[in-house]
Structure formats: C-alpha cells, structure tokens
Amino acid sequence: MFIRGSSLCLRGELSGASVTGETILKVRGLTTRFRTDRGLVTAVDDVSFDLAKGETLGIVGESGCGKTVTSKSIMRLLPERNSIIDPTSRIMFEGINLATADDRTMRKVRGDRIAMIFQEPMTSLNPVFTVGWQIDEALKYHMRDLSARQRRQRSIEMLRLVEIPEPERRRREYPHQLSGGMRQRVMIAIALCCEPDILIADEPTTALDVTIQAQILALMDGLKKKLGTAIILITHNLGVVAQVCDRVMVMYAGRAIESGTVFDVFHRPRHPYTRALLDSIPKTGRKEHGKRLPTIEGIVPSLFDLPKGCRFQDRCKYKQDRCVAEEPQLLNREITSEGVVQVRCHFPLNTPIAEPASLPPPRAGGPK
C-alpha cells in the first residue's frame, strides 16, 4: 500500500502496533453548549480524558448523555451558528489546542490526522458519487504527492484492506448497491485511507446484524494493530467495550462519572449508574431462567432542568442527603495494578461484581 510515496507497507505492520503509554490526545475541561429557543444548554460539561497511542478508549452511556457531542467537539464538526465550545476547554493534539484552532488548521487535521466513522453510513456517504470517487476525494486533498493512478491503486488497496470482495469492481459502484456491512467497511476505508493517528468510531455497529457487527469489530481491532491507530469507540453496547477496548469512560447527563481500565470498571464498578448498566446485561444459564431483567428506573434528566446535586440522584437506590445537596466531583478513588479509577460519587460502591468470570480478563500490555 502506498504510504505517502513510500513502499507498500502499513505503519506498524512490521513491528506490531501496541499501546505505548505515550499520550497522543489530552482533553481537559471540555464544555460544549448549544443556543436554543429556551436559551443556552450545556450538552457536555467539564469532560477530561487522555488517549494513548495504539489505545482503544470506549465511551458509553444512554442516548443524550453527550457521547457524540464530545466526539464532534474534538473534530470541530458542530455547526458554529448554534454551538459554543467554552474558551477554557483544551483539546491538545501535538501541541495544538483544537478547541481554539482556526479553520485552516482544522482542515489539515480532519481526515488526515484525526478521522471519524459516523453512525449511519447510508446518510454519510454521498449517493451520487461512486465509492472510489469518495475515497479519492480524501486522498486528493491530504496526499497531494500521489498521482491519479496511485490514488486509484490506494483506494483499491484500502477496500481490500477492509475485506471488501472484488475491490476493483466495488470501487465503481454507488452506495445504494452495497449492503449495510459493506457500506460501513467503505466508511472505515475512507477514514483510514490517510493513516490517521486517531480514529473516532461513533457507534459503528448500531444498524448491523450480530454477525456483521463481529466482523466490523474484528476488522477495526486488526487495523489498529497494523496501523498503530488510537481509537475512540462510542457505543451503547457494553459487550463491545469488553471485547475491544483498553479503557472505558462512562458518561451521564453530559458529565463523565467513571473511568478506568475495562478490567477495573467491569469487575468492580464504583458508580451506582455503571453498576446498574452492567446488571442490566442479559445473563445466560439455568439460574437466570425466568428472572426479570434488571432495569434502571426513570429517565435521564433534561439538560434544561438538572437537579442541584448528583445528576443520577432520582434514579439511584443508594441516594443520601448529601447527594441531593452537593454535586460530587470526579476524583481518583483508587490506583490499581491496571491504572487509576476515577469516580464522580460521594459514596462509591466497593463490592466486586457477582460473576467476574463472565467479564473480560485484564488486557496484556494495557495502559498504566
């Protein structure tokens, strides 16, 4: 494969990419607001996290908790006419604060250094252009040293890389001629064609059946190992996080409420919301037959009418007076052999989950 004019070799393919511990993206105090008919509303409130090279960070939570707004804030893809990123927010990438960077700088970063896979490929792909044309468009802008013939060859190689059969023929086809799984693979090919340092995948398997989901996840994990790309995976599916992520950040009502390695968070959740999410996963076995599936009572509060104290208080069975009067801060609650566990709770839980055997083991070589 053509790598900026070099020989046919993928970045990281020879040495085998892994989590290095070197931070490539540092987000601090990210706050994003929207102008509405009812005034300003804060969709993402003081979110902070780090992303290491070769790492996969999962961001989970219910719909409306701020996952997609967080990712689009990083990419600066929100409409400027009705969105505001707080000037104190810091999104540091290679010494540049993307929160305040000008349009010229962002055009160089988007697609080339940081790429994104959007939720629904049928609405993200242009229906009037062929698949090959849409891959070529990104190459033409970001890799100007490639000739037309080299761009054509690279687009075919990218389609082959994401395991699309007959890439030479598929390159000439339109999005409506492809299945849902193949369209998602095309989106991954477009995102990876310029070898980004960071790939943001916003629910890349939501509209796909279980078999295709497994194939897409295996494909992304394999490409991460070949290219050394860091991945931010946004999903509702905790099983997906357990399968492919190194660390996880749980969001609720615009705030990060718990973060840590997948092993730490899944085996011993400290926040009642995280525990409730894990308890709601269907379990198999005789003992579970006939049992009702646990649910989280109530709904996520409106961002226009957030409670004074903890935002989860109305749905929390462990609520105490302090939870109503005072909002908890996100604090380092524990340092384990896997890493630091941060929790936003006055009274964090301290009980390991009942069936750790059903959850993922520690990932070798994970971030420290």
- Please say if the pLDDT value at position 207 is more than 80: no
How far, in Å, CA of 186 to CA of 163, rounded? Answer: 10
Select the more confidently predicted residue: 19 or 190: 190
What's residue 104's pLDDT? 93
DSSP state of 142: H
The 10s digit of each residue's pLDDT in 100-136 is 999 999 999 998 899 998 877 778 899 999 999 999 9
156-169 average pLDDT score: 90
CATH 3.40.50.300 residue ranges of the chain are: 23-245
Helical spans, DSSP H, in 110-179? 121-124, 131-142, 148-161, 167-170
- Taking each continuous run of H as one helix and of E as one strand, the counts in the chain are 12, 13
Neighbours of 313 (CB within 10 A): 18
Q: How far apart are CA 178 and CA 160, in angstroms?
A: 15
Question: Which pLDDT belongs to residue 7?
Answer: 28
> How many CA atoms are closer than 13 Å to the CA of 269, on its beta-carbon side?
21
Q: What is the DSSP string of 56-80?
A: EEEEE-STTSSHHHHHHHHHT-S-T
- Greater confidence (283 vs 27) lies with 27
| Structure confidence at residue 270 (pLDDT) | 94
Q: What's the CA gap between 32 and 282, in Å, rounded?
A: 34
Asked if 139 and 193 touch (Cβ cutoff 8 Å), the reply is: yes
- Strand 331-335 and strand 340-343: the pairing is antiparallel
Is the per-residue pLDDT at 163 higher than 60?
yes
When the pLDDT of each residue in the chain is averaged and rounded to a whole number, the result is 85
The topology under which CATH files domain 23-245 is Rossmann fold (3.40.50)
What are the tens digits of pLDDT across the range 297-322?
Answer: 888 899 999 999 999 999 999 999 99
Mean per-residue pLDDT, 44-66: 94
Assess whether pLDDT exceeds 70 at residue 81: yes
pLDDT, residue 333, reads 84
Contacts of 299 (CB under 8 A, 6+ apart): none
State yes or no: pLDDT of 272 exceeds 90: yes
Q: What is the pTM of this model?
A: 0.84
Other beta carbons within 10 angstroms of residue 271's beta carbon come to 27
User: What CA–CA distance (Å, rounded) separates 192 from 201?
Assistant: 11
Q: Which helix (H) or strand (E) holds 104?
A: helix 103-109
